[in-house]
Each structure stands twice: as structure tokens, then as C-alpha cells.
């Protein structure tokens, strides 16, 4: 399905489902509002799913991998060959995302959308490769506009296939998290954030994998040079993605758009997923209420991203790994919120007296 067709399918959240969810929350055996954001989260989930008592049985985290030409500018503490090595680690089940996904009962869908290597065939690896990494955006556009669109549409296709009961594993995905892998990808993410939020590069660029002061200076200089050379249009999200983005960032934006079109909640991970959310939001603002920010990353640009998107993170744990690790924890909270709404007894069901008027 094309990007345009998918965008046209995104609807506002269901007011009737949210009203019913709020009414039930107010009758549960607790003081109104006593479970804080778990209550508001459950109402949002009801609106997204169009179900006043949503249940989540098939969570999945889609982790997209891609390489970046700008990494040659010395912007990361790790070499580019770590990207394919970590993809293989994901497939073996040995990475942090695998551990946390198992913890919350989620599958990990691993996608090669732009790794700069030929990965061996694997039954659980989705091959959606656009190219072997992006070009160095500090010297010209990271990709063509057509490649940018193809990356977004690849994400739409993958999440649509996972959600569809006839093709998705074990009956289809009903809540999705986003994850990433790509050495150097905090650099395009910072470039996207600086462009769309119109913040100075220095204010939204952090140390990523732990680069030293010299590496941070190179990173900032590369981003500033790339923005100056390419002049991405902040009002054209596809242009921003093409000029200074990454294939996995575009793919994740497509995942968000595709899930929203099908009424499936999207729990976004950290800084790279946040940059993808900026692209998705730029393409279709109606995606915003379908997004749930799992956490606030240590990366300094993530705060500006969440403020721009008007998203309040569920957690703040000093995470900066990516992979979808924060999204896994966020999915756990979404499941908990939905279970409270669905499984907790009301005052009437439990035979518990409600508060007095003076209470």
C-alpha cells in the first residue's frame, strides 16, 4: 500500500470508546485518578483500538537496522561493522532487546532496511534493504526522495503484514513497539530534530555511543555542514528524511503511520524512534495520538523531540541503548493499564461502598 493511501486511512481516536473507558475507570474500586497515568493511558488505548476494554495478546517490537555514510566522519565510538554483527545477535536472541521482549512476551521483528553488508538468509530476518547504507549527508543528500519514500512504504508494508490476522505470526500483532540498530544513527537523528524543531544543532546533539569531546565536535560540525549543504525543508518531512535521514528512520516512520491506519497503538523507543516520529508527524499530523512515548532518553535532543510532538514519556531511566529496549518496557505498562481497565472490579461488582458526598 502506498504512503498516500495509508495516510488517508488514519482516523481520529474513537470518542465513544474513550468515554466508556473513562466511565468504567471512575467506577473501579479505587479513588478516581488514584492510578494516575495508568488511567489516562488506558483511555488513550481505548480510543486507539476503538474498544472500551482493550486487551493486548500479541505485542511485537519492530527493530530496523541500517548504516549511515556520515559515520565515516568519525561521529561514533564504534565501527560500522557492528551494525551487521548486532543484527545477527538479535537473530540469535542474545541482545538486550531480546531479553526485554521475552520479559514482556513480545516478538522481535528484525528488519534489514539498509545494512551496508550482505547478511546471511535467516527465517526471522526481514529483508527490506533499500541500499547498502545511506550516503554521507555532510557531503550531499543521504538518499534520493524516491529512496526516502520507499523506506517509509517498506515500514508500512511490514507493520501491515504483522498486524493482519491472516499473515501476522500467531494471529496478528495488536500493539507494536519501535526499535533501531545502526552505528552513527544519532547523527541523522540530531540533524532531523534540529531541522524540524528549528533548534540549534548543539542543543540537540549528544554523545551517542559515548564519543569524546573531539568526536562530539566532529559530529556537530558534520551535522551543521550537512544542513547547510542540503538545506532540508522543515515543512517537507520527506525532504528532511532524504537530505539528512536514515533508512531505518524512514522505515520506523512508516511503521508508525501503518499502525495508526489500522488502529494499533505504537510505543516508540528513544531518540532514533523520536526522530522517526518527527518524520511521521510531518507527513501526517493525525498520527500523533496513536504514539506513546515509552521513555525519555539521555540523548539531549530527545527532550526537544518529545516537546515538539507533545508526548509525555512513561519512564525516565537514563536509557540510551535503542534497539527497542525502552519500547519493551513501555509495552509492559500499556498492558498493565489495559488490564486494570478490563479486569479490575467496579464498586457495584465487588459490593464495595463508594465515597460519600463529603468524602
List, by residue number, the catalytic residues.
323
Cα–Cα dist 294/5, whole Å: 28
- Residue 175 β-bridge partners: 59
First vs last Cα of the chain: how many Å apart?
A: 55
- List beta partners, residue 266: 176, 291
- In 50-144, alpha helices (H): 82-92, 96-104
Could you tell me if 307 and 286 are in contact, meaning their C-beta atoms sit under 8 angstroms apart?
A: no
Name beta bridge partners: 268. Answer: 293
Residue 113 · residue 66 · CB < 8 Å = yes
- CA 154 – CA 71 distance, rounded (Å): 23
Per-residue DSSP letter, 262: T
User: Half-sphere exposure (CA, 13 Å, Cβ side) for 105?
Assistant: 13
Q: In what order do the strands lie in the sheet with 125-127?
A: 125-127, 107-114, 59-66, 175-181, 266-268, 291-293
In whole angstroms, what separates CA 337 from the centre of its chain?
19
CA angle (26 as vertex; 21, 28 as ends), nearest 5: 95
What does the alpha-carbon distance between residue 142 and residue 5 come to, in Å, rounded to a whole number? 26
Query: How many Cβ atoms from other residues are within 10 Å of residue 285's Cβ?
Result: 11
**CB neighbours (10 Å) of residue 345?**
12
Q: How far apart are CA 162 and CA 58, in angstroms?
A: 10
Residue 314 CA to residue 48 CA, distance in Å, equals: 17
Q: Is 351 helix (H, G, I), strand (E, B) or coil?
A: coil
Location of C-alpha cell 486511512 = 9
* Sign of the CA dihedral running 239, 245, 249, 250: positive
Amino acid at each position: 500500500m502506498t504512503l498516500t493511501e495509508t495516510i488517508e486511512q488514519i482516523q481520529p481516536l474513537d470518542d465513544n470508546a474513550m468515554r466508556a473507558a473513562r466511565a468504567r475507570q471512575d467506577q473501579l474500586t479505587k479513588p478516581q485518578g488514584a492510578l494516575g497515568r495508568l488511567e489516562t493511558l488506558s483511555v488513550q488505548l481505548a480510543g486507539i483500538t476503538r474498544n472500551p476494554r482493550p486487551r493486548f495478546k500479541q505485542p511485537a517490537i519492530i527493530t530496523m537496522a541500517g548504516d549511515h555514510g556520515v559515520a565515516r566522519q568519525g561521529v561514533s565510538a564504534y565501527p560500522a561493522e557492528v551494525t551487521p554483527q548486532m543484527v545477527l545477535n538479535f537473530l540469535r536472541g542474545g541482545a538486550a532487546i531480546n531479553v526485554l521482549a521475552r520479559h514482556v512476551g513480545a516478538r522481535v521483528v528484525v528488519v534489514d532496511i539498509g545494512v551496508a553488508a550482505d547478511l546471511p538468509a535467516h527465517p526471522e530476518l526481514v529483508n527490506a534493504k533499500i541500499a547498502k547504507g545511506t550516503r554521507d549527508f555532510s557531503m550531499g543528500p543521504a538518499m534520493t526522495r524516491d529512496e526516502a519514500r520507499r523506506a517509509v512504504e517498506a515500514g508500512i508494508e511490514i507493520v501491515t503484514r504483522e498486524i493482519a490476522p491472516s499473515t501476522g505470526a500467531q494471529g496478528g500483532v495488536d500493539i507494536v513497539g519501535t526499535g533501531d540498530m545502526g552505528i552513527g544513527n544519532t547523527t541523522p537523528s540530531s540533524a532531523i530534530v534540529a531541522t524540524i524543531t528549528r533548534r540549534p544543532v548543539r542543543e540537540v546533539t549528544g554523545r551517542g555511543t559515548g564519543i569524546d569531546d573531539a568526536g562530539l565536535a566532529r559530529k556537530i560540525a558534520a551535522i551543521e555542514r550537512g544542513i547547510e549543504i542540503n538545506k532540508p525543508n522543515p515543512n517537507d518531512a520527506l525532504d528532511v528524511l532524504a537530505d539528512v535521514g536514515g533508512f531505518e528512520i524512514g522505515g520506523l516512520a512508516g511503521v508508525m503511520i501503518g499502525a495508526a491506519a489500522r488502529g494499533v497503538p505504537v510505543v516508540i523507543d528513544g531518540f532514533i524512534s523520536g526522530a522517526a516520529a518527527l518524520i511521521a508527524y510531518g507527513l501526517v499530523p493525525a498520527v500523533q495520538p496513536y504514539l506513546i512515548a515509552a521513555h525519555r532518553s539521555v540523548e539531549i535532543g530527545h527532550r526537544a523531540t518529545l516537546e515538539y510532538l507533545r508526548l509525555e514519556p512513561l519512564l525516565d531511566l537514563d536509557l540510551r541503548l535503542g534497539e527497542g529496549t525502552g519500547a519493551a518496557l513501555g509495552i509492559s505498562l500499556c498492558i498493565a493499564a489495559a488490564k486494570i481497565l478490563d479486569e479490575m472490579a467496579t464498586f457495584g461488582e465487588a459490593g464495595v461502598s463508594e465515597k460519600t458526598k463529603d468524602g
